[in-house]
Structure 1
Amino acid sequence: MSRFDRFVDAVAGHTRIAIAVMLVLTVVLGAGAGMIEQSSSLDQFQSDSPESQKLTYIQGNFSTGAENTTSVQLIARDDNVLDKESMVGILELEQRLQTNETIEGTLVENDSIVGLPNIVATTAMQQQVGGELQRTNAEFQQLNATVSQERAALQNRSDTLNATAADLQRALGMLQQNPNASVEAAFEQVRSNTSVELDQEDYGTFQQAAQGVRNAQNQSQVEQAYQLGTQGVLRDQYSDLQERGEELQAQGERLRELGGELQTLNGELQNASNATLDEQLEQLQSMNQSQIDGVLSLLLGENGGDGGSSAVLALVPTDFDRGTTEAEATMVVVTQTTDGQSSAPTGETSDAISNSQLAMQDIATENDWSVDEVLVFGSGIIGEEITQSMTDSLAIVGPLALLFVLLALIVAYRDVLDIVLGLLGIFTVLIWTFGFMGWADIAFNQLFVAVPVLLIGLSIDYAIHVFMRHREERNEHGSAGVRESMRIALTGVGIALVWVTATTVIGFLSNLTSPLPPIQEFGVVSAFGITAALLVFGILIPAIKIEVDGFLEGRGWDRTKSAFGTGGGRFSSVLAAGSTAARKAPFVVILVALLISAGGAYGASQVDTSFNQEDFIADSPPQWTYDLPEPFKPSQYSAKDNLDYVNENFVRQDSQSQILVESGGTSVASAEAMQKLGDAEERAASSGVVVVLSNDEAEIRSPLSVMESVAASNETFNATFTAADTDGDGVPDQNVGEVFDTLFQVAPDQAAGVISQTEDGEYEAVRMVVSTKGSASMDAVTEEMRAIASDVDVDGLTATATGQTILFKIVSDQLLQTVVESLIITLVATFAFLMLTYRITEGSATLGAVTLLPVALSVSWILGTMYLMDIPFNILTGMITSLTVGLGVAYSIHLSERFNQELERTGDLWESMRRAVTGTGGALLGSAATTVGGFGVLAFAILPPLRQFGIITGLTIIYAFLASVLVLPSLLVVWYRYLGPGRSTTAGGKTTSTTAED
């Protein structure tokens, strides 16, 4: 007795122990199910590629002012969203967003909401303050000049008067000392030496002072005389000087007032740039349409002010007519802080971000906001819809799969107890599998939505084979009891189930060669689930059936049932078609199968590979699904339509590629590097995948564009930049390091966004950020960006093209690699396993090759079908080749194994073939029907890749079943006649040579 037979005897003979052990395992494993986490992030599919490493370097070494943030794009649509009513409505919408409790905590501190209405309002406020500032400044400058001139004139006049007073004093002293000197002559001498006009009245005063000096009796009289002869003579002039001084003081007071006004106005100008939403709304409401159009012309027009800047033009459609002030749509950008969470739309977003963006969507749709429609597009909404589509898909396809399986089991079993046992086994397998995921810390992602359906189909496949074989044994050996019949059934079908499990596990574990972690995890989980199905339906369910059937039969219940597909009738005749064709024309059957496979192989070479965001975003579900009762009714889905609209009309905030240029033998702070960067900009600007704004300029940011922008507003940098650009082409050709130094001094934030500077002040890398069209294909974007990078990657510079789209392209290529490698590994490993196994057990290794050949043919059939249906390889359908082998080989193994068993019993080729095809074929048909139905219901899934996976997998099962019952019989006949025990046969088909060594 073989070890397998002893194991079967143990299960059948000690059913209660087997049940107890399996239940304990179920409880232990099931405890892990509560630890499963859910993830919809596409970042988990990315491997550690050089491009991924460079993107990480960029995120860690360049400061763009937007770290740990994510952007939400709100698109307002109407006949004209730039009229006053619409713009006021948009600002009111922004107020609601800013004051909402769910949203408020996620907004960044400054400039969290920016749209064209905000810019129009703040620009108008700046214009008003700027006009007053200009007028006040002009008055200040004029008065300041006047005061300066008057102050100088007064000082000069004061000096002249003081000098004249001194001359008069000296003249009086001379007259005092010389009593005979002429007073008139002394006065005339003073008058001739001064610019002060002295008249006769002044002479009279001087003469009186001279007499006083000569006649003074004491010092006091002398001083009085001197006072009269100087200050008294110049009294009128000093009085006039005092009046002018008082006037100058008044002008100084006014000058100080104007200085204060200027300071206030400068503050108001700064405040206008940072005006609150309430202030912006008040400003817009105070303006008429003509005033609004004037500001719009300045902002969006071809000439003047800040008109035509990319930051402003990015808020209107890319086909905006700059000759008008009307637009059918405009964009509002809301910036949120992610606190270290991923900011890419494909990345995992926090609950706070998702909830806040859903709140934005609710607010945008609850009111017309004076516009026809407001679309909300953001990473949180996309992530939520992907997650919700997984949940909705399970809610719809799970019950449908169970319902279909239930109906199929009713048809196949026609017995309530067997149906209940089958469903119990399915739930046990699911508990084991999800518990294993929890214990292994494997997150539930998009791939694993297919796992329950996969396990339901395969589990019921195992159940049907065990139950149908058990029924056959009871019908053929009516005297045998329940326990003995189950022992014989498990002995007969059990080894086939073990081989089926082994080959299926091989197929799934071949995904371990994939560089994509989630596909590796899917392979491991699926392999565990298949193994669990073998244990549950090979131990637990048979043991329970023995106990229950024995209990019922002991009380008079007849538990003998006929096996599905036996006993004649329509099913038997249909199943016998393969054996009939094998008897009449086996080579014709094989030739037709090979021709079909050749066509499928050609189609297989044409199948595309896809991995991008759109693959995972759900379309709007069919209308009938909204008639389903709760909780099966799906949610509303708008992200894909919104994404398509943004792609066609606006700059995607998340659609960017980057060229990282690093120093090698040549420094990035060199004329050569700047010239290469300039050439790269020119090529990118002319590329068909790069966004071009309505000003006909490509949306590109690099050190050169930042230099140009800063030079336009900063005189200091402009002087340095101009001096370094000797030929005037906008690219510095000398002293580049000095240009970088000055740029960091005057605009450090802008410089750090495109230039990487070490702590030692060395410049080690620069980058060019290119906004690419959201509608451009991954292949086109990747090819163009890599071509641009290759032009720079010379002369001692290292240039790498990176970005989310390029990383997705890498994943796509790795997905194709997974398809090819897993197919080769699965086929080789399965061939080797079956040939070795059949050599050991049947003495014929070639029987293993013959058993797998129909499955290999069906692989080309399914790939050709994918080409005809325009279904690409994606993260789910990319596993179809290994899945086809893993699932399909089960049908071939069951038929080959049954054929060999019947040969041992009857020794007759055609009787053995008839029994194998009608007996096992019936079980195969039942399992195929349930598996196809289980996978077929995935066509109703909300998640797009899941729909495609369900359709293709359903067809895979059909092809594998048809190959096993139509093609394999002919292959077995040819094998039997030329390689097997029938190398020489009698006319009646009796075997005269029963063994053949290979």
Structure 2
Amino acid sequence: MARLDFQRFVDWVDHRIVNRSRRVIAVFLVLTLVFGGGLSAVETESGTEQFAEEVPAEEAFSRISEEFSPSFEEGTGSTQLIQRAPNVLTRRELLRMLEAQKRLSDRDDLRVVQTASAASVVALSLDPDADTLEAQVRAVERATEREVAEAVRDNAENERFTGLLSDDFNPTTARSTATIAVITHSVPFADEATAGQGGESPLTPIQRKAARVVATVSGDISVFGSGVIADEFGTVITDSLIIVVPAAVVFIVLFLVIAYRDLVDLLLGTVALVMALVWTFGFLGLAGIPFNQVMIAIPPLLLAVGIDFGIHAVNRYREDRIDGLGVGEAMRKATDQLLVAFFIVTGTTAIGFLSNLVSNLTPIRDFGVVAAIGIVFTFLVFGVFLPAAKVEIDRLRERYPIPTFSQSPLGREGSSLGSALRLGVGPALRAPVVVLVVALLCSGGMMWYATGVDTEFGQEDFLPPAEAPAYLKALPEPFAPGDYSVVADIEFLEARFTSSQSGVVTVFLDGRVTDDAFLEELDRVAQDPPDTFLATDRRADSTSILTVIESEADSNPEFAAVVARHDRNGNGVPDRDVVEVYDALFATESADRAAQYLADDYRSSRVDYRVRADADDDAVVADASDVAERFRTAGTATGTVVVFSAISDLILDSAVQSLALSMAGTGLFLLFIYWWLERRPSLALANLVPILVAVTFVAGTMRLSGIPFNAFTATVLALTIGLGVDYSVHIVHRFIDERTEHDLETALDRTVRGTGGALAGSMLTTVFGLGVLVLAVLSILGQFGLLTAASIVYSFLASLLVLPSALVLWDRFSGNDPLVPLGGVDVDDADTPAVSAAD
């Protein structure tokens, strides 16, 4: 009864496609206008900040920003000027840096409140009274080269000077090849600090202007800062889409020309593709879901699935037209079979995408939801609108002289493509067990090999590479990407300023801050730090409320007396009535600094630990967690390196969990759908065999290609199931239809030639449509495109080479006679009743 109910639904849709095609077309055009109105509401979200949401370490980082920052005060931000030269400490180069500082300070709109540079230090050594940039310029101008070199040597032990110079600084020869200047700006409504970097920053307009100002100064000086990073986060999305989408369209149109070989059908397929995209991104705007970097992959994905649906619909319709059926009858027969196949494909693909909902990373969850909605829209457009439009156009062709080119289906009998598609049929009929054993052994080997795939997450993943590929540089406007410098500058700073680039990890302490033993605990934990922490005399190089107390006591005798009165054991650490010590500290000039390490309500505190610049991130995170556990107070390790490490772990967890959920969900869905539609649930097992092969080969390809799991590729394995099942579902569903009328060999042959031809066309368009992602400015987007294209190829090959053997074994174990159609009579003896076995 359930199957009949489903058939009635299919018949209801068939009737409207064939008999009310104009009404169907009108409804879809109206809906396109509705969704089109949402396009203007689409917002863009970029950067790494969005990935840090809901990560415990990031929540601690945010609480630190909230609780240890002055309230209702204007914030500050900084810009770095990076100067490169054979020797930045010559008189000429020092003047260039001072001139850059002066021009920036002279601009009121840049809101400069302070500047610091090695050049300023040298100028003050030459003239201690040079307290303005103009005076510092004069001091260096009046000095000789020898006097400048002597001033440099005088500051060889000055950390304020050497900390701004590259590691190759040589005090003897007064030489260094790079230096940094720091420009501090007052920034109203400064953003709350987060471990990640967002695509928006109040410093972006300031640093854009600063770059133009610095460009007027001769020499090699570049501007770097959070505003520049945020700017590149945003522009890289636009630049990638400008390159990827047109390239995808070119490849898609090229292969659609080959697949359709008819201008009208080509235009119809293109309109349907555009409609699917408008619906999807219109929904994005109407639902208020921001467009992030991961979603750059959605247009090619939808184009790929839409092309597949379109080719199958037109190809199957053409097959029935070749058999002599009229327009309405041929379309009714085609959609009667394809609506079911499209429904199964849509269900399994949506499950593959929605499996990303288990991810703890918001952008990946949003990607899964939008992609799943897009697949449903694609099903409606290509399953209902395109057939209705095709019926209307072909009826017009019968009445009017509309140009018609080739209407023959792909893979027809006798064609070269049809012969090539049969490669898996022979081995399947002769030795199906051997084929499956070999396939499963290869899959097992690839899965074992794939266990070595790395996982990574970093700011650079979402930025353009330091050196753009030659083909991107050769692109004409408007496709040529902009000039990007952030990654190159980051790599330069990490390579040349390691001595001053030591990292910081923070331990957030929640509670027990007012206990008398709290400050003693801070002192105890600082002893014998891990190897990754910087230390002096076996004490961690740290900053906390205790170090602020000690610093104030050293310079303030009155406060030192307070500390002494509350120090029972005489070790300089207050351990009695510490609240009184806190109150006294906040009454001193160190109050602002104390507020950075102790909350106003005395309920939480923070400790910053400096770590070695060359330390391994995983080791730093492990050591930071160990130090946090040393506290009796509830401690949480946080900081950029800790948050990014946590995100990296979540990426791997997401990949594994979404893969398991996708495989389980797809398997259960197929079991149900084949039971519901065909009363043969065991077909699901045959259906899953090529998917298993494809997934393991994609995972192995990741390691072979050196591609790690990252924010993009974490979705690939689940997507392989979602997209790859398309190929096997079409084969299985077509096989069952053919098997009811033909013997086993004929059914397999007709299946792989008919459906296999459409699969070949959709595979090529999908591979190239997704493969164009390698042209994107973002390198990890290229990795995603490469892996997704590989998954399509593996799914196609597995469906044609492995699936036929699985279907032959299914047919045998179901008790069917290979010479007898499931729903007919023996082809050799019309009087012999057909054998039909229940599943």
Q: Indicate whether the TM-score tops 0.5.
A: yes
- Compared CA separation, residues 898 and 607, structure 1 to 2 (3 A): same
1:680-719 aligned at under 5 Å gives the runs 683=529, 686-687=531-532, 700-707=542-549, 709-710=551-552, 713-714=555-556, 716-717=558-559
Q: CA deviation at 1:583?
A: 1.3
1:408 is paired with a residue whose SS is helix
1:913 is paired with a residue whose SS is helix
- Compared CA separation, residues 506 and 992, structure 1 to 2 (3 A): farther
- Does the Cα contact within 8 Å between 1:461 and 1:931 map onto a contact in 2? yes
Corresponding residue for residue 701 of structure 2: 865
Matched, 1:436 2:443: no
Corresponding residue for residue 673 of structure 1: 521
**Counterpart code for 1:487:** R
- Does the Cα contact within 8 Å between 2:47 and 2:462 map onto a contact in 1? no
CA distance in 1, matches of 2:87, 2:569: 45
- Compared CA separation, residues 774 and 7, structure 1 to 2 (3 A): farther
Q: CA deviation at 1:4?
A: 0.8
Matched, 1:482 2:323: no
Corresponding residue for residue 950 of structure 1: 785
- Does the Cα contact within 8 Å between 2:354 and 2:372 map onto a contact in 1? yes
Q: How does the TM-score come out when normalised to structure 2? A: 0.91
1:334 is paired with a residue whose SS is strand
Q: CA deviation at 1:750?
A: 5.3
Q: CA deviation at 1:592?
A: 1.3
Out of 3, 23, 30, the position equivalent to 1:17 is 23
CA distance in 2, matches of 1:728, 1:841: 84
1:741-760 aligned at under 5 Å gives the runs 741-749=583-591, 751-759=593-601
- Does the Cα contact within 8 Å between 2:84 and 2:179 map onto a contact in 1? yes
- Does the Cα contact within 8 Å between 2:199 and 2:233 map onto a contact in 1? no
Matched, 1:798 2:634: yes
- Does the Cα contact within 8 Å between 2:617 and 2:641 map onto a contact in 1? yes
CA distance in 1, matches of 2:142, 2:560: 38
- Compared CA separation, residues 529 and 717, structure 1 to 2 (3 A): same
CA deviation vs aligned residue, 1:304-340 (integer Å, no higher than 9, x gap)? xxx33xx544322356456664322221112332623
Out of 753, 759, 764, the position equivalent to 1:918 is 753
Corresponding residue for residue 497 of structure 2: 650
- Compared CA separation, residues 560 and 618, structure 1 to 2 (3 A): closer
Out of 886, 891, 896, the position equivalent to 2:727 is 891
- Compared CA separation, residues 506 and 350, structure 1 to 2 (3 A): closer
- Compared CA separation, residues 613 and 668, structure 1 to 2 (3 A): farther
CA distance in 1, matches of 2:372, 2:516: 51
Corresponding residue for residue 60 of structure 1: 66
Bigger share in helix: 1
Out of 361, 366, 372, the position equivalent to 1:527 is 372
Corresponding residue for residue 29 of structure 1: 35
- Compared CA separation, residues 55 and 714, structure 1 to 2 (3 A): same
Q: CA deviation at 1:439?
A: 0.2
CA distance in 2, matches of 1:524, 1:671: 49
1:290-301 aligned at under 5 Å gives the runs 292-293=148-149, 295-297=151-153, 299-301=155-157
User: Which runs of no fewer than 5 residues in structure 1 stay unpaired?
Assistant: 129-271, 302-306
Corresponding residue for residue 781 of structure 1: 620
Corresponding residue for residue 120 of structure 2: 118
1:626-641 aligned at under 5 Å gives the runs 626-641=473-488
CA distance in 1, matches of 2:195, 2:164: 20
Corresponding residue for residue 462 of structure 2: 616
**Counterpart code for 2:341:** A
- Compared CA separation, residues 929 and 282, structure 1 to 2 (3 A): same
Corresponding residue for residue 454 of structure 1: 301
**Counterpart code for 2:787:** I
- Compared CA separation, residues 808 and 992, structure 1 to 2 (3 A): farther
Q: CA deviation at 1:292?
A: 4.5
Q: CA deviation at 1:634?
A: 1.2
Q: CA deviation at 1:973?
A: 0.2
CA distance in 1, matches of 2:828, 2:627: 72
How many residue pairs are counted as aligned between the two chains?
A: 822
1:769 is paired with a residue whose SS is strand
Matched, 1:492 2:337: yes
CA distance in 1, matches of 2:277, 2:178: 49
Q: CA deviation at 1:981?
A: 3.0
- Does the Cα contact within 8 Å between 2:346 and 2:375 map onto a contact in 1? yes
CA distance in 2, matches of 1:531, 1:386: 30
CA deviation vs aligned residue, 1:49-78 (integer Å, no higher than 9, x gap)? 432332222112224799743322222122
Q: Greater CA deviation, 69-78 or 466-475? A: 69-78
**Counterpart code for 1:645:** F
Corresponding residue for residue 824 of structure 1: 660
CA distance in 1, matches of 2:151, 2:561: 31
- Compared CA separation, residues 654 and 941, structure 1 to 2 (3 A): farther
- Compared CA separation, residues 970 and 622, structure 1 to 2 (3 A): same
CA deviation vs aligned residue, 1:671-720 (integer Å, no higher than 9, x gap)? 522322432xx526x426x6x99x99986433454455545555555666
Q: CA deviation at 1:556?
A: 4.8
Corresponding residue for residue 184 of structure 2: 335
**Counterpart code for 1:327:** S
- Compared CA separation, residues 513 and 31, structure 1 to 2 (3 A): same
- Does the Cα contact within 8 Å between 2:99 and 2:217 map onto a contact in 1? no
Structure label with greater radius of gyration: 1
Corresponding residue for residue 575 of structure 1: 421
- Compared CA separation, residues 668 and 852, structure 1 to 2 (3 A): farther
Matched, 1:501 2:346: yes
Out of 964, 968, 971, the position equivalent to 2:799 is 964
Corresponding residue for residue 92 of structure 2: 85
Corresponding residue for residue 283 of structure 1: 139
Q: CA deviation at 1:526?
A: 0.6
Matched, 1:770 2:617: no
CA distance in 1, matches of 2:265, 2:685: 35
Q: CA deviation at 1:553?
A: 2.3
**Counterpart code for 1:799:** G
- Compared CA separation, residues 673 and 398, structure 1 to 2 (3 A): same
Corresponding residue for residue 516 of structure 1: 361
- Compared CA separation, residues 992 and 291, structure 1 to 2 (3 A): farther
CA deviation vs aligned residue, 1:270-291 (integer Å, no higher than 9, x gap)? xx6xx33223323333444555
Q: CA deviation at 1:355?
A: 3.0
CA distance in 2, matches of 1:419, 1:524: 30
2:606 is paired with a residue whose SS is strand
- Does the Cα contact within 8 Å between 2:357 and 2:368 map onto a contact in 1? yes
Matched, 1:606 2:448: no
CA distance in 2, matches of 1:668, 1:815: 42
- Does the Cα contact within 8 Å between 1:116 and 1:330 map onto a contact in 2? yes
CA distance in 1, matches of 2:42, 2:225: 26
Corresponding residue for residue 772 of structure 2: 937
**Counterpart code for 2:111:** L
- Compared CA separation, residues 612 and 730, structure 1 to 2 (3 A): farther
Q: CA deviation at 1:124?
A: 5.4
Q: CA deviation at 1:352?
A: 5.3
- Does the Cα contact within 8 Å between 2:256 and 2:266 map onto a contact in 1? yes
Out of 315, 318, 327, the position equivalent to 2:164 is 315
- Does the Cα contact within 8 Å between 1:68 and 1:340 map onto a contact in 2? yes
User: Which runs of no fewer than 5 residues in structure 2 stay unpaired?
Assistant: 1-6
Indicate the RMSD between aligned Cα atoms, in angstroms.
3.1
- Does the Cα contact within 8 Å between 1:70 and 1:343 map onto a contact in 2? no
Corresponding residue for residue 4 of structure 2: none
Corresponding residue for residue 75 of structure 1: 82
Q: Greater CA deviation, 559-568 or 770-779? A: 770-779
**Counterpart code for 1:532:** F
Q: Greater CA deviation, 314-323 or 464-473? A: 314-323
1:905 is paired with a residue whose SS is coil
- Does the Cα contact within 8 Å between 2:262 and 2:405 map onto a contact in 1? no
CA distance in 1, matches of 2:192, 2:548: 26
Q: CA deviation at 1:886?
A: 0.6
CA distance in 1, matches of 2:309, 2:191: 44
1:152-301 aligned at under 5 Å gives the runs 275-289=131-145, 292-293=148-149, 295-297=151-153, 299-301=155-157
- Compared CA separation, residues 378 and 841, structure 1 to 2 (3 A): same
Q: How does the TM-score come out when normalised to structure 1? A: 0.77
